[in-house]
Amino acid sequence: MPDLEMLLLRIPNLLVALTLHEFCHAYMAYRCGDPTPKFMGRLTLNPLSHLDPIGTICILFAPIGWAKPVPVNPYNFRHPSRDDILVSLAGPFANLSIAIIIGSTLRVLTITNIAIPIIALKLLGLGVVMNIGLILFNLIPVYPLDGHHVLRELLPSYKAKEKYEAFNRIAPFLLLAIIVFAPGLLWQVLAPPISAAFWLFTGMNFDGFMRILYYL
């Protein structure tokens, strides 16, 4: 369980990351011809419309969590296959944009040797880490994550999609088992790309930042 400081650092990053992630899903669906998100009150930047109570508690106190999925009706899409991919990628793209903006801010502050309070460094750095983590996790091609929709629409044949959906009857339970019983395994997979992206966006060493985050 995170200490109070870590909890306070996570909350604003969580509100921004999940709210913009779900809003961008809703906005892209609306732009692609589906009014469902608007009718369901999801075309908003109000965090209360997007946060799932249990998922929010999990992401605050555990390594994983979720927001309320945006309801969409793919039959309303103008180009169903393409638009499903666009809607699915809109959320991760929002997190990528946040990570780049925050990371670029940290990079500029570092290059110009502008001193910032350690708590601000932790807040901004954790924002980059959380958003990169959300991108990578959501792109895992397992139902109901965004990556599932993307890969399904990219498969070349109906038979391939049938086999993929059959696999996804058990895949979510396998992923859940890894999260619950072997979270270290998931971290081993995600840590290298998180570390690389963190350095790319901020110019800072990831391991060095993690030591600052937890020990200073």
Catalytically active residues are: 22
- Give the dihedral of Cα atoms 189, 6, 214, 206; nearest 10 deg: 40
Q: Taking the mean position of all CA atoms in its chain, how far away is CA 138?
A: 6
- Range 8-30 burial, b when 16+ CB lie within 10 A, else e: ebbeebbebbbbbbbbbbbbbbb
The position carrying tokens 């109070």 is 4
Residue 194's H or E segment, with its range, is helix 183-202
